[in-house]
Structure 1
Amino acid sequence: MEIRYLKHKEIDKDKWDNCIEKAFNGIIYAYSWYLDIVSENWDALIEDDYKTVFPLTQKKKIWY
């Protein structure tokens, strides 16, 4: 098992969405298009070749 940290631009969104679609607990909030809307530069932890995925969002505060 290899877990990699990927920056937003390195994420293969087709593989990401395929993983979410096949997951028994996949929800709409985990799809790449949704994450792009709510957190434009999200990163991710990826197990092996997108066997398991975990989004890492960044919360920004106004004026900070």
Structure 2
Amino acid sequence: MHRFSIPTMTCGGCARSVTKALQSVDPDARIETDPPAREVRVGSAHGPEAFLAALAEAGFPATR
């Protein structure tokens, strides 16, 4: 499971946008967003770099 910190994810709308960006990489990924903690966890066989790139492209730069 990958864990990312996303400082700009502050609400449910942001979490939906983050989820959509992550699903563009892996539609079958297990995604758990936590806006109050500004974190997301992703269960996927894909590497973290693809998810980081998708998040940045969607306007939600993230760190591991």
TM-score, with length taken from structure 2 = 0.32
Task: Report the structure, 1 or 2, having the larger helix content.
Answer: 2
Q: Which has the larger radius of gyration?
A: 1
TM-score, with length taken from structure 1 = 0.32
